[in-house]
């Protein structure tokens, strides 16, 4: 019997990349409504409890979620307006558009696209899908796009005027904690967490259909990028829908969220012996949780290397590199804190997706 090919691992330090936010977007295409697409099932095997036990399970999971969110204060960014200066920039390699779409369940998203001006290769364009699309397209620069003239970029964002929609990403990017569906968000009254399975179905269904409409795309060269909660979602997708993308970039992923639910998902995920998947897992060596000041508002985290902040990510990378059919490229971004790894990772993700 042929032995499975174990994933290769490359660990290295790279210098922090100085990325000054310029952005990408020229809204020439009219707003359109997304066409409903087929729903996609995940491979996560969540326990289905007998009806009398479901309420108790829900309470327990909520408690786990609350403790985990409290211990990962850097998972949600502070409010920053998105100004998109790249809308005014001169583009030499890509045409930029953005549009608002409504999914079949009534959820509204904003889709950003950077489409190459060059003709596609015979197999079609490679595509890089970027979560937190507002934030990413607020920090991309024309110079970044010039290094990948043949790559399509798709940013999945929301209608917010800020870089991040914290309530939406808390729901969409966090793995299910209950077979009953999302549970209340203990950090945001009225919000929910645990909707990653539903968002993944939308992302690979109707949102993908809308974003790729009219483009010749190479389905074997799709890459998914996410930061923080988005990095958590990228790993969740890798483990539950490895067929949805061939390459993944998980940046500063919140691997401890939900009491370690991602670890349990990894333990149950089947080995992908027949696939050749690539993962970029990058994080800063100075990631620390924000503190809370006397007025109850978040205060900046102290600077400097913080080995404790790297430990759980490094341990999860070690678990993943033992998986068949997965090549893990682990990068430690020297001198960078949690928020700084987002723009610093973009050139790395562009290079991964354009290979």
Active site residues: 228, 287, 338
The 8-class DSSP code of residue 204 comes to I
Distance CA 125, CA 277 (A): 18
Q: Is 10 exposed, middle or buried (0-12, 13-18, 19+ CB in 10 A)?
A: exposed
Beta bridge partners of 102: 108
Structure tokens, 221: 């060269």
Structure tokens, 325: 């059919």
Structure tokens, 27: 């809204």
3-state helix, strand, coil in the chain (%, to 5): 30, 25, 45
Question: Residue 293 is inside which H or E element, if any?
Answer: none
Helix (H, G, I), strand (E, B) or coil at 257: helix
The angle formed by the CA atoms of residues 289, 337 and 297, to the nearest 5 degrees, is 40
Residues 6+ apart with CB under 8 A from 129: 154, 156, 203, 208, 211, 222, 223, 224, 225, 245
Structure tokens, 159: 């209608």
Q: What phi, psi does 193 have (nearest 5°)?
A: -130, 165
Q: Are 227 and 131 in contact (CB under 8 A)?
A: yes
Distance CA 321, CA 324 (A): 8
């Amino acid at each position: 019997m042929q032995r499975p090919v174990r994933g290769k691992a490359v660990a290295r330090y790279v210098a922090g990349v100085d990325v000054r936010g310029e952005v990408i977007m020229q809204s020439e295409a009219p707003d359109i409504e997304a066409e409903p697409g087929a729903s996609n099932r995940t491979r996560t095997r969540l326990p289905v409890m007998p009806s009398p036990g479901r309420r108790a399970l829900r309470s327990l999971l909520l408690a786990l979620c609350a403790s985990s969110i409290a211990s990962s204060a850097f998972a949600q960014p502070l409010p920053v307006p998105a100004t998109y200066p790249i809308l005014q920039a001169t583009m030499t390699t890509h045409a930029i558009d953005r549009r608002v779409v409504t999914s079949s369940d009534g959820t509204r998203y904003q889709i950003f696209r950077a489409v190459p001006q060059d003709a596609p290769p015979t197999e079609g364009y490679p595509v890089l899908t970027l979560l937190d699309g507002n934030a990413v397209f607020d920090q991309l620069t024309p110079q970044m796009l010039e290094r990948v003239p043949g790559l399509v970029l798709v940013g999945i964002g929301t209608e917010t005027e800020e870089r991040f929609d914290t309530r939406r990403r808390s729901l969409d990017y966090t793995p299910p904690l209950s077979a009953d569906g999302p549970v209340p968000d203990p950090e945001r009254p009225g919000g929910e967490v645990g909707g990653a399975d539903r968002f993944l179905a939308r992302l690979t269904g109707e949102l993908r259909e809308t974003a790729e409409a009219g483009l010749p795309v190479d389905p074997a060269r799709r890459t998914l990028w996410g930061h923080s909660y988005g990095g958590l979602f990228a790993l969740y997708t890798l483990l539950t829908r490895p067929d949805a993308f061939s390459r993944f970039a998980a940046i500063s992923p919140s691997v401890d969220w939900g009491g370690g639910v991602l670890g349990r998902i990894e333990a149950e995920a089947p080995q992908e012996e027949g696939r050749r998947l690539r993962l970029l897992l990058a994080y800063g060596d100075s990631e620390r949780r924000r503190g809370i000041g006397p007025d109850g508002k978040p205060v900046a985290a102290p600077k400097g290397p913080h080995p404790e902040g790297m430990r759980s990510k490094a341990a999860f990378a070690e678990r993943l590199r033992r998986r068949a059919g997965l090549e893990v490229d682990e990068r430690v971004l020297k001198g960078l804190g949690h928020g700084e790894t987002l723009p610093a990772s973009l050139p790395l993700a562009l290079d991964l997706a354009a290979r």
